[in-house]
Amino acid sequence: MNVPTLETARLILRLPVKEDFPAHFSLWGDPRTVRHFGGITYDEADTWLRFLRNFGQWHLMGYGFWGVVEKDSRRYVGSLGFVHAKRSLDWDFRDLPEMGWAIHPDRHGRGYATEAVAAAQAWGDTHIEAPRTWCMINESNAISRKVAERAGYSFVQMAQFKDMPVVILDRPRGGRQAVS
């Protein structure tokens, strides 16, 4: 599988490499990252499995998560992309690609998530053969919801996932037409 490298004005989205793991572990071991993911930090073993999932999705599904790297510093600052997570949810589109993102809290407030999600969506619109993608965001995570809405995701329903209230949003392939 040839994983594309995407570039934005400030970021490089590329295949995660083994050397990214310490930074990935720092991301998921930070309480600020997981406050909307159940509040429990990931240990090294669980973070490693998440990291391998990000890599392996590309080979099984033809899409996956990229490592997000700052162009200027070359620092790994997060991950984002599409995943087929086999979530135990009961809705008709759970087997379609799910969009997700996590940027290290030290880099929050810079617009990195919005910038990287836009690049990933543009790639997905061209390369993923699915009628739509979806995302699931903790109800309390207003910032990620704004990122999703900027990327063209719209509210579908409220749900419960692992005893947490979540917002389910979806986006048709190619995005939504602006309503005048």
Domain-located, residue 123: yes
Give the CATH number for residue 40: 3.40.630.30
Over residues 63-100, the pLDDT tens digits come to 999 999 999 999 999 999 999 988 877 777 788 999 99
* Beta strand ranges found along 6-138 (DSSP E): 6-7, 11-14, 65-70, 76-83, 98-103, 132-138
Task: For residue 126, list its beta bridge partners.
Answer: none
Domain-located, residue 142: no
Domain-located, residue 167: no
Per-residue pLDDT of the chain (180 residues; tens, 9 = 90+): 689 999 999 999 999 999 999 999 999 999 999 888 777 889 999 999 999 988 889 999 999 999 999 999 999 999 999 999 888 777 777 889 999 999 999 999 999 999 999 999 999 999 999 999 999 999 999 999 999 999 999 999 898 888 889 999 999 998 865 443
Overall number of domains in the chain:
1
What letter represents residue 63's amino acid? Y
Domain-located, residue 163: no
Q: What domain range includes position 123?
A: 6-129
Domain-located, residue 28: yes
Domain-located, residue 43: yes
| Sequence-distant (≥ 6) Cβ neighbours of residue 87 within 8 angstroms | 94, 98, 136, 161
Q: Distance between CA atoms of 80 and 75, rounded to whole angstroms?
A: 15
